[in-house]
Amino acid sequence: MSCNNRSFLGDLPEDFILLGVSDRPWLELPLFVVLLVSYILAMVGNLSIILVCRLDPQLHSPMYVFLGHLSFLDLCYTTTTVPQMLANMGSSRKTISYGGCTVQYAVFHWLGCTECVVLAAMALDRYVAICEPLRYAVIMNRPLCQHLVATAWLSGFGNSLVQVALTVQLPFCGRQVLNNFFCEVPAMIKLSCADTAVNDATLAVLVAFFVLIPLALILLSYGFIARAVVRIQSSKGRRKAFGTCSSHLVVVSLFYLPAIYMYLQPPSSYSQEQGKFISLFYSIITPTLNPFIYTLRNKDVKGALRRFLARVCRL
């Protein structure tokens, strides 16, 4: 029987072996420590941002509504992958079930594409705040913010459904070893023994849609913002405008650059060895750094955190 026929008849692997750094055993302990510390920092940092954005009345503007959703996405992002990685590194059996693998890459791609759209919405918010300050409250009203957030979550979910529908049909012909730290669509496509041209093309088109279009909108927004900032007479005003945008630009760079390298290169040049470490970067390092980038460079968030900690200490 052909590989495809066996796959459709239900002859699928019960589990996958996640290679991780098994070929470099000396790396496992330091990497385990780095992942554990990063995960704890990501949990504490993002939970703190979520709490202060919801509880502090001064952070109920659209900018911080989007920031709260970004932190929630980062919190879910890390929780989707890191606990599994830590469990595998602490065990001699480095496996994940077929169903668990499917859920992992489905949720991972849902969250990743949602974050692309949320980052674009945050750039739109900064554009309106700086270029149309007198009309900010009218333009960035509550219904528009809710629609933008809903669009982000629903479009990301739609992309995930398409990716899952195509990936679960792939036959693996007994192949079970994934050269990665967690299940991800490019690694699953690479593992398949069938012709994956449709999967490769669909992945490229959808990723281009979710990465390049939001990135183009972000760059366009910041082009207009830069032009408006140059026209500000006061140096204090320019510094304030730059301060409100710099954190977002750093976060955009940390998120988009690895994603572009990972997903928008030709399938023939895809390197699993490089890919797994890039995946590690944007699945744990970026979500860990995001809350600290916003906290360290945003006076409103720092003030809200101080007020929140003061209330906690009084309890």
Encoded amino acid at 81, one letter: T
The vertex-202 CA angle with 201 and 203, nearest 5°, equals: 90
For residue 13, the model assigns a pLDDT of 67
Q: Where are the domains of the chain?
A: 3-314
Residues 6+ apart with CB under 8 A from 211: 116, 256, 259, 260, 263, 264
Question: What does pTM read for this prediction?
Answer: 0.87
Q: Report the number of secondary-structure helices (H) and strands (E) in the chain.
A: 12, 3
CATH 1.20.1070.10 fits 3-314, yes or no: yes
> What span, in angstroms and rounded, lies between the C-alpha atoms of 238 and 242?
6
3-state secondary structure of 18: strand
Residue 12 phi, psi dihedral angles, 5° rounding: -105, 155
Side chain identity at residue 240, one-letter code: K
Can you give the pLDDT at residue 42? Answer: 92
pLDDT for 170 equals 86
The pLDDT of residue 73 is: 93
Q: What is the pLDDT of residue 7?
A: 42
Helices (H), 90-196: 98-131, 136-139, 142-167, 185-191
Phi and psi at residue 16, to the nearest 5°: -120, 150
Q: Which residues pair with residue 17 across a beta bridge?
A: 95, 177
Per-residue confidence in pLDDT tens, the chain, 315 aa: 344 444 444 456 678 888 877 677 777 888 889 899 999 999 998 998 898 888 877 778 888 899 899 999 999 989 998 998 888 887 777 888 888 999 999 999 999 999 999 999 999 999 998 888 889 989 999 899 999 999 999 999 999 999 999 998 888 887 788 888 888 888 888 888 888 889 888 988 888 888 889 999 999 999 998 888 887 777 776 777 777 788 888 888 888 888 887 777 665 555 666 667 787 887 888 888 888 887 766 777 777 777 877 777 776
